[in-house]
Amino acid sequence: MANNRAVTFMGPGKMEVRDAGYPKLADPKGRKIEHAAILKLVTTNICGSDLHIYNGRFEAPAGMLMGHENTGEVVEVGSHVQHIKKGDICSVPFNVACGTCDSCRDRHTDVCLRANEDLGFCGAYGFNLGGWQGGQAEYMLVPWADFQLLRFPDKDEAIEKIRDLTLLSDILPTGYHGCVEANIRTGSTVYIAGAGPVGRCAAASAQLLGASCIIVGDENKARLDLVKNAGYEIVDTSSATPIPDQIESILGKRWVDGAVDCVGLECHGNGPDGSKKNEVESVINTLMEVVKPAGAMGVPGVYTNMDPGAPNSLNKQGKMALDLPKAWVKSPKMTAGQCPVMRYNRELMMAIIWGRMPTLTSMLNTEVISLDDAPKAYETFGAGAANKFVIDPHNMTRLAGKSLRDSAAARPKATAGTR
Ligand SMILES: NC(=O)c1ccc[n+]([C@@H]2O[C@H](COP(=O)([O-])OP(=O)(O)OC[C@H]3O[C@@H](n4cnc5c(N)ncnc54)[C@H](O)[C@@H]3O)[C@@H](O)[C@H]2O)c1
Ligand SMILES: [Zn+2]
Ligand SMILES: [Zn+2]
């Protein structure tokens, strides 16, 4: 039986590649599950959400296998799996979801009622949410495989476009969801807080949705440069000029139609001393300030009551000091939580396959690395590198372009075969 080398969380600041043993068709409590599949990982990305765990800001048990942004080739299926076949290359939505509970039927796979037995809802791989092990590994288990897996129509095309398709397991649907919840549509103006990979995916999503003025704020100059080079507007949150003033100098107005939090609980404050301020509420308060009356806010940025490193006693209790009383009179609307990836991933896959997804590859600045390079990449990404790190455990992306068919001929077949 094959081993399974995997990026393993050993405590804050400590990621190690260890052999975790080949996965079994069994749930986190050890019960056999025939609706599951085993995948050989093609790509598995490091995310800002992983950094919260790495930085000790989202509690997780030592020994947990990391990785919720997974794409893989099916190598084994349980006896109840009917439609997914060995050899399929599939994107794995980061939310674990059963497909039959009330939440799943409501397209809320972010809060599946069967994927996290201890909490009662909300499961994810490699995230201390339901005990499902992550996929920054050679192999991983995916339960409810027929429901969960998004099969790519053409294997050669999947490898050719893997740098964009690998984003479908999380950050592209997440950026898109943030914009949808901020009510971004044709002609909308939007402020996106955070120029990390999620913020950059949100900018591209806003463009796809038809937004007019797309403004991204951060203090990280290298990340802002990627945004600017892709043709979007930028705001420097470390400037002495307040953010509404910077927005006004771009837009002629101090308000935007919608705003998206792509930062979360590890945000810094605004202004020249912002980096020294370890705040939890800074971004949400900024959003409430810059959004127009009756505007909307999408909050995919992660917040938690499992934050031992929280900066003050209020935050340690899982609470924050919101300016809601000040903003209340503007009739704000806000949606927070995990992105229900399955609500968007098939459509976004089609947008990528047909070349409709703007500027992703260059703006994400993707760096493909080996499994052994992953612990170092956690350090580099955590220090603010302007890359998206994509782990390729079996060196499969080297096959890109090696056996491609004529793409014009392949496309109609590919779309017809989509689930
Ligand atoms: N809800 C979901 O389903 C979901 C999915 C994926 C990621 N996330 C979350 O989205 C957030 C972003 O992820 P990422 O991978 O881009 O993370 P990241 O850490 O790479 O990027 C965050 C960026 O925010 C910037 N920032 C910090 N404070 C700021 C402020 N006050 N204003 C503007 N920018 C500020 C940082 O400089 C950094 O560039 C994280 O909280 C992550 O956990 C949520
Ligand atoms: Zn992620
Ligand atoms: Zn469910």
The Å distance, Cα 183 to ligand 3 centre, comes to 26
Whether 175 lines ligand 1, by a CB cut-off of 6 Å, is: no
- Map residue 49 onto helix, strand or coil: helix
Q: Is residue 72 located within the same domain as residue 115?
A: yes
**Cβ–Cβ < 8 Å for 170, 339:** yes
Residue 380, H or E segment: helix 374-382
Give residue 143's pLDDT: 98
Whether 84 lines ligand 1, by a CB cut-off of 6 Å, is: no
Q: Is residue 186 located within the same domain as residue 265?
A: yes
The CATH number assigned to the domain holding 123 equals 3.90.180.10
Q: Is residue 160 located within the same domain as residue 224?
A: no
Whether 170 lines ligand 1, by a CB cut-off of 6 Å, is: yes
Which residues have C-beta under 5 Å from ligand 3, the single-atom ion? 97-98, 101, 104, 112, 114
Looking at the CA of residue 336, tell me the nearest atom of ligand 1. 1
Q: Is residue 204 located within the same domain as residue 71?
A: no
Give residue 278's pLDDT: 83
Give residue 228's pLDDT: 98
Nearest alpha carbon, ligand 1 atom 4: 300
Nearest alpha carbon, ligand 1 atom 38: 196
Per-10-residue mean pLDDT, the chain, length 419:
90 97 97 98 98 96 98 98 98 98 98 97 97 98 98 96 97 98 98 98 98 98 98 98 98 98 96 88 97 98 93 92 96 97 98 93 94 98 97 92 48 37
Give residue 403's pLDDT: 60
Give residue 404's pLDDT: 40
Give residue 249's pLDDT: 98
Whether 283 lines ligand 1, by a CB cut-off of 6 Å, is: yes
Q: Is residue 152 located within the same domain as residue 240?
A: no
Q: Which ligand is nearest to the CA of 264?
A: 1
Looking at the CA of residue 217, tell me the nearest atom of ligand 1. 33
Whether 340 lines ligand 1, by a CB cut-off of 6 Å, is: no
Give residue 18's pLDDT: 98
The Å distance, Cα 46 to ligand 2 centre, comes to 7
Domain containing 236: what range?
176-336
Whether 339 lines ligand 1, by a CB cut-off of 6 Å, is: yes
User: Per-residue DSSP letters for 293-350?
Assistant: EEEEEEE-S---S--TT-SSHHHHTT-----HHHHGGG--EEEES---GGGTHHHHHH
Boundary-marking domain end, from 336, 368, 391: 336
Q: What is the β-pairing status of strands 214-218 and 139-142?
A: unpaired
Give residue 120's pLDDT: 96
Whether 218 lines ligand 1, by a CB cut-off of 6 Å, is: yes
Q: Is residue 301 located within the same domain as residue 245?
A: yes
pLDDT tens-digit readout, 288-298 = 999 999 999 99
pLDDT tens-digit readout, 386-410 = 999 999 999 999 877 776 444 333 3
Q: Is residue 250 located within the same domain as residue 386?
A: no
Q: Is residue 199 located within the same domain as residue 309?
A: yes
Boundary-marking domain end, from 308, 336, 364: 336
Name the pTM for this structure. Answer: 0.95
Helices (H), 118-251: 145-148, 155-160, 162-165, 171-181, 197-208, 221-229, 243-251
Nearest alpha carbon, ligand 1 atom 2: 338
Q: Is residue 139 located within the same domain as residue 180?
A: no
Q: Please give the tally of structural domains in the chain.
A: 2
Give residue 398's pLDDT: 85
